[in-house]
Amino acid sequence: MKNNIFLIGTHWGDEGKGKVVDVLSETANACVRFQGGHNAGHTLVINDKKFILHLIPSGILRDNVKSVIGNGVVVSIDALLSEINELEENGVSLESKLSISQNCHLILPTHIALDQARERKLGEKSIGTTGRGIGPCYEDKVSRKGIRFIDLKNENIFLKKLEDLMGYHNFLLEEYFKEHIIDINSTADEIIKKYQKISKYILDTDEYINNLCKKGGVVFEGAQGAMLDIDHGTFPYVTSSNTTLSGVVSGTGVNMSLIKYGLGITKAYSTRVGHGPFPSELNNKVGERIGEIGGEIGATTGRTRRCGWLDLKVLKKSIRLNNLSGIALTKIDVLDHFDEVSICLNYGEIDYETFEVDDIEIMTLPGWKSSTVGITDYKKLPKNAKAYIETIEKLANISVDIISTGPARNEIIQKIKILDEK
């Protein structure tokens, strides 16, 4: 039986989880998304065609792979329908492949309005959210006011809950934020109409996911990264869900004993979108050059990502928090162009007002100045590229099991077959 595995971004998201899931799904039986919303953006390049998936698991592009959106995900019906339509227009069939938990909470137009109004009010102190309503939706979930897909099975129940919740939202919008309110009746009509188009995918996924795991070959896919975890990340500059190992269990209902391997997705350098501390950030031409070569523009936000050297302190924390078995190192090819490459080993306390940090310790290694693009055999990597990878392995005390050498699904080195490992 194949292993069941989970994937965690080790830093602040955008590590390349989508591509790795896509590669692994070639031999997988199912892919399960466990948290976040359409603030995620997993970019895949297949036969020169770019797909950007925000909600649906990356495995949907494989014919024989089941794709499940777990209960820990918050869902915008508009975003979901848009994604479904785009996939179908490109010849990707979803019939009998896609399942969505009935316990997923719905993102309402008022959630989006509140999210954006809050960021405007905070001004320079804003969190840097995507403005897509994810945070307010999770807030309503925790306060037990939220609306789930299961509520739509009874229209009267749904309408009563929607009236109560949007009434509360509109009060906040009008009285506190001095913003326009949103019509409840038209919102209800739109949601009911759109729900009919996706209701065939809705089910109780708890037992379904565990049964899939008993057959093996299930890949659990998260959004964002470990340092954006609501409990363990760089609070308050975090997302509104658990992006770490605990989110796998709570966001799907899986029995953890069924999962045998944890893969940390780590970029060969570090990036961050939006506000928040970033100790290894390079506010210079080197950082700009990394961003240019790496195409560091958010797939969801369109915002330019901040770039810096690999943050080893964060990597070690992620390994500890998530009990990781190995690492997938992505975008090694971006560093092909530099005379020297560095690793941020350690630093002191972070000032969360200024984001300044003392006692930064940097290790510098010689670059390799030759192309790694498309290499699929580890032995064929340039000597200094291998030295860089092996330094990370030694310092972090973990094996680099997968290395991505370009954006295409075939531009990858798999040192071991993770799903097949016993």
**Model pLDDT, residue 301:** 59
pLDDT band (50, 70, 90) for residue 354? confident
Strand partners, 330: 267
pLDDT at 298: 63
Residue 274 has pLDDT above 90, yes or no: no
Q: Which long-range contacts (CB under 8 A, 24 or more apart) does 312-316 make?
A: 312/343, 312/344, 312/345, 312/346, 312/392, 312/395, 312/396, 313/279, 313/344, 313/345, 313/346, 313/347, 314/10, 314/11, 314/226, 314/227, 314/270, 315/10, 315/11, 315/264, 315/266, 315/392, 315/396, 316/396
Segment 21-33, tens digit of pLDDT = 888 988 999 999 9
pLDDT value at position 48?
Answer: 66
Contacts of 50 (CB under 8 A, 6+ apart): 43, 44
pTM (two decimals) = 0.91
Length of the chain: 422
Nearest-10 crossing angle of helices 109-122, 155-171: 20
pLDDT confidence band for 46 (50 / 70 / 90): low
Angle at which helices 383-396 and 312-322 cross, to 10° = 50
Question: What kind of architecture, by CATH, is found in domain 5-97+204-420?
Answer: 3-Layer(aba) Sandwich (3.40)
In angstroms, the Cα distances linking 64 to 67, 91, 104, 327, 379 are 10, 15, 24, 26, 32
Q: Give the model's pLDDT for residue 74.
A: 97
| Confidence label for 150 from pLDDT (cuts 50, 70 and 90) | very high
**Residue of 11, 42, 169, 275 marked active site:** 42
Question: Would you say residue 268 has pLDDT above 90?
Answer: yes
Q: Kindly report, residue by residue over 106-138, the tens digit of the pLDDT.
A: 999 999 999 999 888 877 767 767 788 999 999
* Token pair listed for 7: 């994937």
| pLDDT value of residue 409 | 84
Each residue of 63-74: pLDDT tens digit? 889 999 999 999
CB atoms within 10 A of CB 363: 15
**Closest C-alpha to 32, from 6, 65, 1, 69:** 69
| Residue 258: pLDDT over 60 | yes
**Quick one: average pLDDT of 184-202?**
96
Task: State mean pLDDT over 375-403.
Answer: 97
Q: How many CB atoms lie within 10 A of CB 266?
A: 31
β partners of residue 264: 8, 327
**Is 78 among the catalytic positions?**
no
CATH 3.40.440.10 in the chain is located at 5-97+204-420
Query: What token pair was written down for 404?
Result: 């991505």
> Which one is catalytic: 11, 14, 54, 111?
14
Q: How many CB atoms lie within 10 A of CB 45?
A: 17
Predicted confidence band at 1 (pLDDT cuts at 50, 70, 90)?
Answer: confident
Average pLDDT for residues 298-316, to the nearest whole number?
85
Res 39 pLDDT > 80: no
Would you place residue 254 in the very low, low, confident or very high pLDDT band (cuts 50, 70, 90)?
very high
Asked if 339 is an active-site residue, the reply is no
Cite the residue boundaries of each domain of the chain with CATH code 1.10.300.10: 105-201
Q: What is the mean pLDDT of residues 326-344?
A: 97
Give the separation between CA 224 and CA 216, rounded to whole angstroms: 25
Decide if 220 contacts 252 (C-beta within 8 A).
Answer: yes
Q: What is the pLDDT, as a whole number, of residue 163?
A: 97
Look at strands 49-53 and 306-308 and give their pairing. Answer: unpaired
In the prediction, which pLDDT does 322 show? Answer: 96
CATH number of 105-201: 1.10.300.10
Instruction: Give 54-100 pLDDT, tens digit per residue.
Output: 899 888 888 889 999 999 999 999 999 999 998 888 888 888 899 99
What's the mean per-residue pLDDT of the chain?
Answer: 92
What is the token pair recorded at 81? 């329908």
Instruction: Identify the pLDDT of residue 288.
Output: 94
Q: Report the pLDDT value the prediction gives residue 316, as an integer from 0 to 100.
A: 98
Element at 13 (helix H, strand E): none
